[in-house]
């Protein structure tokens, strides 16, 4: 339907039943739905259907599409599917905890599947060029003790860089950091950031 907002939701917490980042993602999507009359949402739990880059995957990706054999095409199928989802969406909501100062391995595996030479980025005369266009990303990041944007934060800057690399510059980080210090204050900070971007619409 024209005018429909297409939201791809990606959840990276390994603990979905009690995930604070997912609770905040739920809230963000509720606010987005209020602000947009027609919203279509697809959700991907990054803990399911994992796939990692290996030598066969790399060889397949560096073989021209029309020259790939059936095995090579099959090896790229999951990556193709993830990129199709990204292309479909005009708004991405990513929820992720910090694990050991970086992103969960599941999220890194997703990143490795969607950063595809010749598909989502290419190198030209001016260096790297991202090939995805006109998309916004909201990223909810939770941490236990590390303050976001501190030297211990290898999540927010990294994710901004990766999305810009594939062409998505409109990246908004919603921080619910230091949950183990004061969870209530963390939630309050994050919900205030969400409401600042997506204010509730009066009925
Ligand atoms: C395996 C693991 C590693 C973690 N590593 C860190 C870390 O390096 N720094 C930090 O501040 N918090 C760390 N935490 C705490 C989580 O980031 C925090 O509990 C977060 O709120 C979890 O998000 P979730 O509730 O959405 O799963 C870690 C938690 C786990 C389970």
Pocket of ligand 1 (CB under 6 A): 13, 15, 19-22, 97-101, 142-146, 179
Query: Cα 18 to chain center, whole Å?
Result: 20
**What is the C-alpha separation between 9 and 139, in angstroms, rounded?**
10
Residue 17, judged by CB atoms within 10 A of its CB (0-12, 13-18, 19+), counts as exposed
Q: Are 167 and 133 in contact (CB under 8 A)?
A: yes
**What is the C-alpha separation between 153 and 47, in angstroms, rounded?**
22
Segment 108-114 shows an average pLDDT of 98
Segment 112-122 shows an average pLDDT of 96
Q: What is the pLDDT of residue 200?
A: 76
Counting from 1 in the atom list of ligand 1, the atom nearest the Cα of 176 is: 21
Of all residues in the chain, what percent carry a pLDDT higher than 90?
Answer: 90
Entry pTM:
0.96
Among 143, 150, 151, 187, which residue has the most ligand 1 atoms within 8 Å of its CB, making it the best to mutate?
Answer: 143
How many Å lie between the centroid of ligand 1 and the Cα of residue 80? 30
Segment 49-74 shows an average pLDDT of 95
């Amino acid at each position: 339907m024209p005018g429909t907002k297409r939201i791809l939701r990606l959840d990276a917490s390994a603990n979905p039943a009690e995930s604070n980042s997912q609770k905040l993602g739920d809230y963000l999507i509720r606010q987005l739905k209020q602000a947009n009359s027609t919203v279509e949402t697809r959700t991907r739990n990054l803990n399911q259907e994992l796939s990692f880059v290996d030598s066969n995957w790399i060889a397949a990706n560096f073989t021209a599409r029309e020259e790939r054999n059936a095995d090579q095409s099959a090896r790229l199928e999951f990556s193709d599917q993830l990129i199709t989802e990204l292309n479909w969406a005009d708004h991405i909501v990513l929820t992720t905890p910090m694990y050991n100062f970086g992103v969960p391995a599941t999220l890194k595996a997703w990143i490795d599947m969607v950063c595809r030479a010749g598909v989502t980025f290419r190198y030209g005369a001016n260096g790297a060029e991202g090939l995805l266009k006109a998309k916004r990303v909201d990223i909810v990041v939770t941490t236990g003790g590390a303050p976001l944007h501190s030297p211990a934060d290898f999540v927010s800057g990294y994710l901004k860089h990766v999305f810009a690399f594939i062409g998505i510059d409109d990246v908004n980080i919603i921080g619910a950091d230091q949950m183990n210090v004061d969870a209530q204050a963390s939630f309050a900070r994050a919900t205030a950031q969400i409401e600042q971007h997506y204010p509730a619409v009066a009925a």
